[in-house]
Amino acid sequence: MSTTAAKARPAPIEPHVKKIAVVIVLGAIMSVLDTTIVNVALDTLSRDLNSPLSDIQWVATGYLLSLAAVIPITGWASTRFGARRLYVVSLIIFTVGSALCGLAWSSGSLIAFRVLQGIGGGMIMPVGQMILVRAAGPQNLARIMSFIGVPIVLAPVFGPTIGGLLLEHVSWESIFLVNVPIGVLAVFATMRLLPKDEAAPEAAGKLDAIGLGLVAVGVTAVTYGLAETATKDLGSVHVVLPIVLGLVLVALFVARALRIPNPLLNVRLYGNRAFAAASLTTFALGAALFGAMVIIPLYFQQVRGQGAISTGLLVGPQGVGAMVAMGLSGRLTERFGAGRLTVIGVSITALATVPFMLLTENTSYGLTSAAMVVRGLGVGLSMMPAMTAAFSVLKPSEINHASPQLNTLQRVGGSIGVAVLTVVLQRNTEDLGSRAADKAALAGAFGDVYWWVIGVTIVALIPAFILMTVERRRKREADAAGDGPGGPAAPGSGDDDPRSGDRAAEALEALA
C-alpha cells in the first residue's frame, strides 16, 4: 500500500529539468512548426516560382522524406558523438537550411534546401526526447513527456496562421527566414542550459551505412514514383521503375537486417503482433493526417477565395481538437487501454472525414471548423495511444530501435500521403477541363480526394482492432497469472508476455 501511495505522489520536477524542457520544446516547435507552416504557402509558391502543384508539393514531401531518412541514425549518432553535441549540430543545420530556403531562386533549389532543413529537423525531436527523458528520471516520465507533445499540438494551431500572416504582409521567403533568429536563440539556450555530454561517449559500434542507404533511397524512390503519377500514366516507366526499384531496395534492407547482428533498424520487432499493428496504424494515420493538412488549405484558397491568413485560421480548429485530446489521452489510456482508445480515435477520425467528402463551393465554415475539431480529437486520441501500446510490449533495450522506426513510419506515411493526395487532386482538376473555372465542379474535385483520405483512415482501423485484441488477451493472461492490473511482469517481449502499464515508463526511460 505504501509503495502504491509513493507511486501516486511522484517527486516534483526539479527547476533544472524545467529549463531543459524549455530548450527542447523550443527546438521541437521550430522543427514541427515548419511541417505545417508551408502548407498554406503551396499555392503562392506554385505561382511565384512558376511551378506546377505536382512539383511544388515536393517542398512539403521532400522535407518529410528527409526527416524520415535521418531519424533512424539518431540513436547511433547520439551514442557516438553525445546527445547535447548532436542537438546543437541539428539546430545549426536546421537554421542554415532555413536561411537557404529563404534565399531560394527556383522550385528546385527550394526543394533541395528543404531537404537540408529536414536533415536538421529530423534529429531535433528524437535527440531532444533522449536528453529530456534522461534529465527527468523514471519517476517523472509521464509528466515530462507531456512537454514533448506541446509542439505537436501547437503546430496545427499556429503554423498555418503564422504562415498566412507572413505570406500576406511580408513574402513567402519570410516563412523560412523567421526560423533564423529562433534557431540562433535555441543554439544559445542549448549551450547555456543543457548539461554537457560525458567526456568519453559510449562505444556506438559501426554505423550500418549500407542499411541506411538501402532504406533511405528505397523510400524516396517509392514516393517519387507515386508523385510522378501526377503527370505520367500509371504504366509509364517513370512511375513503375522507381516504385519497383524502391520496393526492391526496402526488401533488400529487410533481408539484410535479418542476417546481420547490428542492423540499422531491428525489423524482428515486427514479429510482435502488437508492435506491428501499432506501426501500421501510425503509418496510415501519418498519411491521413499530413496528406489532408495539405489539401484543405488549397480548398479554402482555390475554391473559397480565402487569403493566407483566413486559411490559417480556418485550418486551426483541427489543432484545437488535438490539443484537447492530448490532454485527455493519458488518463483515458489508463482507464480504457491503449488499444481500445486507438480504435475509438481512428473511428472518430474516419467519421469526421465524411463532411469533407461532401464539400461544395458554399459549405458552411461552421461545419468545416466543427468537423476539423472532431477530426483533431480523433487523431489526438489515436496517435499517442498507438505508440504507447507499441512501447508497452517491448523490452526497454528494444526501444532504441522501436522509437526511430515509429517516428520514421509516421514521417514516411506523411510524405506518401502528401504525394498521393496531391496527385489525386491534380488529376481530378485536370479531368474537369474547362469546368475547372466552375467553383462547384472544383469543390467536387476536392471532395473526391477525401474518399482516399477516409480509405487510408479505415486501413488504420484494421490494425487498431488487432492491437485492441492483443491487449485484451494480454490483460486476461495477466489477471489469470495473478498479477492483476498493474501487477508485476516478467521481462521479455512478444504477445504472450503479460506486462503492466509500468513497462511503457521503463521503455521510455530506455530512450535516455
**Do 72 and 191 belong to one domain?**
yes
Residues 6+ apart with CB under 8 A from 499: 392, 393, 474, 478, 489
Same structural domain, 257 and 310:
no
pLDDT for 191: 84
pLDDT in tens, the chain (512 residues): 444 444 445 556 666 667 777 777 777 777 777 766 776 787 788 888 888 777 787 887 778 778 767 877 777 787 778 778 888 999 999 999 999 999 988 888 999 999 899 888 878 877 777 777 666 655 555 455 555 655 655 665 667 777 778 887 888 888 888 888 888 988 888 888 777 766 555 555 677 888 888 887 887 788 777 767 656 766 778 778 988 998 899 899 888 888 887 777 778 888 877 788 888 888 887 787 777 777 888 888 888 888 767 877 887 787 788 778 877 776 777 777 778 888 888 899 889 989 998 888 888 888 988 998 898 888 888 877 777 777 666 665 666 567 667 767 777 777 777 777 877 887 888 787 777 677 888 888 888 888 988 888 888 888 888 888 877 777 777 677 665 444 333 334 444 444 434 444 444 333 33
The torsion defined by the Cα of 279, 285, 289 and 294, in degrees rounded to 10, comes to: 80
Answer whether residue 82 is part of any domain.
Answer: yes
Same domain? For 146 and 233 the reply is no
Q: Quote the pLDDT of residue 4.
A: 45
pLDDT given for residue 151 in this prediction = 61
Same-domain pairing of 66 and 188: yes
User: For 246-299, how does the pLDDT look when each residue is reduced to its tens digit (9 = 90+)?
Assistant: 889 989 988 888 888 777 777 888 887 778 888 888 888 778 777 777 788 888
Return the pLDDT at 491: 35
Q: Name 152's Cβ contacts closer than 8 Å, sequence gap at least 6.
A: 32, 322, 326
Residue 30 lies in a domain: yes
pTM over 0.75: no
The reply to whether 142 and 253 lie within a common domain is no
- Do 43 and 58 sit in the same domain of this protein? yes
Boundary residue ending a domain (175, 204, 233): 204
Neighbour-count burial for 345-374, b at 16+ CB within 10 Å, e otherwise:
bbbbbbebbebbeebebebeeeebbebbbb
The separation between CA 254 and the C-alpha centre of its own chain, rounded to angstroms, equals 22
Q: What is the pLDDT of residue 186?
A: 87
Q: Whose CA is closest to 375, among 355, 352, 354, 342?
A: 352
Shared domain for 171 and 240, answered yes or no, is: no
Is 2 domain-assigned?
Answer: no
- Provide the terminal-to-terminal Cα distance of the chain, rounded to the nearest Å: 30
In a domain, 273, yes or no: yes
Note whether 175 and 247 are same-domain residues: no
CA pair distance 342, 333, nearest whole angstrom: 9
Residue 237 and residue 218 share a domain? yes
* Residue keyed to cell 505508440: 387
SS3 label, residue 496: coil
User: How confident is the model at residue 435, as a pLDDT?
Assistant: 76
Give the span between the Cα atoms of 426 and 449, in whole angstroms. Answer: 10
**Count of structural domains within the chain:** 3
In a domain? residue 339: yes
Task: Give me the DSSP letters along 333-386.
Answer: HHHH-HHHHHHHHHHHHHHHHHHHHT--TT--HHHHHHHHHHHHHHHHTTHHHH
Count of Cβ atoms closer than 10 Å to residue 120 Cβ: 25
Residue 3 placed within a domain: no
C-alpha cell at 398: 528494444
Q: So what's the pLDDT on residue 11?
A: 55
Residue 150 within a domain: yes
108-156, pLDDT tens digit by residue? 899 999 989 988 887 887 777 777 766 665 555 545 555 565 565 566 5
pLDDT at 502: 45
Give how far Cα 344 sits from Cα of 96, 130, 349, 469, Å. Answer: 42, 30, 9, 14
Domain around 86: 8-204
Q: Do 407 and 476 share a domain, yes or no?
A: yes
Domain boundary among 247, 263, 279: 263
* Domain identity same for 49 and 149: yes
* Domain assignment present for 1: no
Q: What is the CATH number of the domain that holds 36?
A: 1.20.1250.20
435 and 472 share one domain: yes
